[in-house]
Amino acid sequence: MSAPQKATTVPDRRVADRSEAKTPIHRQAAVPPSPTMRPMLLFFFSSTSGASRRVDGFLAQVLQRRGNHSTFRLVRVDADRRLDLVERLHVTDVPTLLVVADGTVRGRVTKPTGCNQIAQMLAPWLR
């Protein structure tokens, strides 16, 4: 039987300086802010509501205007399936948009009719 072979190490070609080779790659990159620090934007909708589809378009336009897609953690909530959240957050009509920051509701707009209403409610957080 032959002698066991020694494990060989392959040099890390991604790093020019050998002292940096010991540092994991994920620590070298800038770490984005935690998603839990961003306010949550809850969008209560109904899959059978034309108004919900319209408001979804308005919301996309407001967030896209200045590149605010990463400002919020957007959560779409089907009001027909999540009655527990509808009751807990006192949502009476769909579509409804809520901003939740630090565990409390900081903004609410029910049945918005255009981009302006949504932009006014989100103004404190938009760039």
Domain CATH code at residue 118: 3.40.30.10
Domain total in the chain: 1
Contacts of 20 (CB under 8 A, 6+ apart): 28
Please indicate, yes or no, if residue 13 is contained in any of the structural domains: no
Arithmetic mean of pLDDT, 35-55: 90
Please indicate, yes or no, if residue 17 is contained in any of the structural domains: no
Give the pLDDT confidence of 58-80 residue by residue, as tens digits: 999 999 988 888 899 999 999 99
Asked if 98 and 79 touch (Cβ cutoff 8 Å), the reply is: no
Please indicate, yes or no, if residue 21 is contained in any of the structural domains: no
Please indicate, yes or no, if residue 25 is contained in any of the structural domains: no
Contacts of 109 (CB under 8 A, 6+ apart): 96, 97, 117, 118, 121
Please indicate, yes or no, if residue 19 is contained in any of the structural domains: no
Looking at per-residue pLDDT, the higher value among 42 and 127 belongs to: 42
pTM (two decimals):
0.70
pLDDT band at 40 (very low <50, low <70, confident <90, very high): very high
Domain that holds residue 110: 40-122
Asked if 38 and 100 touch (Cβ cutoff 8 Å), the reply is: no
Helices 50-65 + 115-122 axis angle, to 10: 50
Arithmetic mean of pLDDT, 33-61: 88
Please indicate, yes or no, if residue 80 is contained in any of the structural domains: yes
Give the pLDDT confidence of 80-125 residue by residue, as tens digits: 999 999 999 999 999 999 999 988 999 999 999 999 999 999 999 9
Which residues are 99's β-sheet partners?
41, 107
Please indicate, yes or no, if residue 28 is contained in any of the structural domains: no
